[in-house]
Amino acid sequence: MAERRRPAVSAALSGLTLAALVVLVFALPRALPGDPLAALDDPASGVAITDPELRERVLAHYGLDQPLPEQFAGYVGGLATGDLGWSIARNAPVSGLVAAHLPWTLLLMGPALLLSTAASYVLGILAAWHRGRTGDRVALVGLTALRAIPEYVLATLLLIAFAVLLPVLPVGGARTPFAEHGSGLAALADVGAHLVLPLATLTLSLTATLFLLQRHTVVGVLGADHMLLAEAKGLPLRRRQFVHAGRSALLPLLTAVGLQVAFAAQGAVFVEAVFAYPGMGSLLLEAVAARDYPVLEGAFLVLALVVLAVNLLVDLAARWVDPRSAAS
């Protein structure tokens, strides 16, 4: 009974979340101070319009003269056909802008989530196993401190350390501008070098939270009967640590990873701002600065969809890891 109802319930919940998001995404930019025509009214800007009639026509062209309910209806109608709108500041389709920026954010978020899950899985087990010893205490204090500082501060510190004081990695961007690479491999290496610092920042940031949870869970598992039996059977240490203890702690870890996905997206926005990384965060920040509503709406919505999709993947992984979680 419960098994049959659950997919329907979770689908309904996802649908509700999505509907709430569409409303929020529509309302949020319109509540921000300023408006997209501020630049048109500013005599100092290059696109200033002084003719009131022309201004009316520009407003009408973008639909900004219509009442909010009609703007909303038009927005939802467009979304249904995959149309995210037209950027006011860049005079380009939003879907094209999102398509250009999203891969960089996925390149940042995906590996960061995988690496931080793997790192906290291993480190959490080792710290719990050796709890109270120097290594555990150092990791505990160090990662607690790391968890306290925001992503953009960590990003700035790493930037200063590895791109300025010790100039081994690029300061920002995703590729060396105007560089001619002899081979595809060299181009790939260039992308990789630019990815190291942003990825390290996001991974460290996520690991700090996940590690503390994993350590706590594993400490609780250590005294369990199956751990005693595994030791009595004479199983090797590594197997007991990473297969027996780790497996028991995997479900809480995956649940926490699911909760961290939204933080990973939020963190990516801050990290991209520091490294001038051309992902969704940079797109969002430029759109905030220009009050470019359609881009803001599109970017918010696509990021939220990414978070929902990754959450779904984590949920599926959790069911695969522990079939009991699907039944309850």
Partner 1 sequence: MSAPPTDAAAPEGGLRALWASPTARVGLGLLGAVALLALAGPLLLAHGPRELVAAPLAAPSAGLPLGANAVGQDLAAQLAAGARTSLAVALLAGAGTVALGGTIGLAAGWFGGTVEAATMRVVDLALVVPRLPLLVLVGAYLGPSAPLIAATIALVFWPGTARIVRAQTRSLRTRAHVRASRGFGAGARHVMRRHLLPELALVLAAALVAAASRAVLLEAGLAFLGLGDPTGASWGRTLRDAIEFSGLFYTPAWQWWLLPPTLAISALLIGLTLTGVGLEGRSNPRTSRHRPGATP
> In terms of Cα–Cα distance, which of 47, 26, 28 is closest to 89?
47
Footprint (CB under 8 A) of partner 1, residues 84-113: none
Would you say 254 and 243 are in contact if contact means Cβ atoms under 8 Å apart? no
Q: Which of 285, 312, 313, 321 binds partner 1 (CB under 8 A)?
A: 285
Rounded to an integer, what distance in angstroms lies between the CA atom of residue 142 and that of residue 321?
30
Q: Is 150 in the site for partner 1 (CB under 8 A)?
A: yes
Rounded to an integer, what distance in angstroms lies between the CA atom of residue 164 and that of residue 30?
40
Q: Is 163 in the site for partner 1 (CB under 8 A)?
A: yes
Centroid of chain to Cα 108: 8
Closest CB 21 distance from partner 1, rounded Å: 10
Q: Is 6 in the site for partner 1 (CB under 8 A)?
A: no
Nearer to partner 1, 102 or 273 (CB): 273
User: What is the four-CA torsion angle of 309, 312, 317, 322, rounded to 10 degrees?
Assistant: 170
Nearer to partner 1, 106 or 285 (CB): 285
Residues 6+ apart with CB under 8 A from 271: 108, 151, 152, 155, 198, 201, 202, 277, 281
Q: Which of 141, 229, 259, 327 binds partner 1 (CB under 8 A)?
A: 141
Q: Is 142 in the site for partner 1 (CB under 8 A)?
A: no
Q: Residue for token digits 């590690």?
A: 211
Q: Is 55 in the site for partner 1 (CB under 8 A)?
A: no
Q: Is 308 in the site for partner 1 (CB under 8 A)?
A: no
Q: Is 288 in the site for partner 1 (CB under 8 A)?
A: yes
Q: Residue for token digits 């919940």?
A: 13
Q: Which of 18, 289, 305, 327 binds partner 1 (CB under 8 A)?
A: 289
> In terms of Cα–Cα distance, which of 141, 254, 149, 260 is closest to 201?
149
Q: Which of 114, 118, 149, 224 binds partner 1 (CB under 8 A)?
A: 149
Would you say 295 and 94 are in contact if contact means Cβ atoms under 8 Å apart? yes
Q: Which of 18, 32, 161, 243 binds partner 1 (CB under 8 A)?
A: 32
Residues that bind partner 1 (CB under 8 A): 24, 27-28, 31-33, 141, 144-145, 147-150, 152-153, 156-157, 160, 163-164, 171, 266, 269-270, 273-274, 285, 288-289
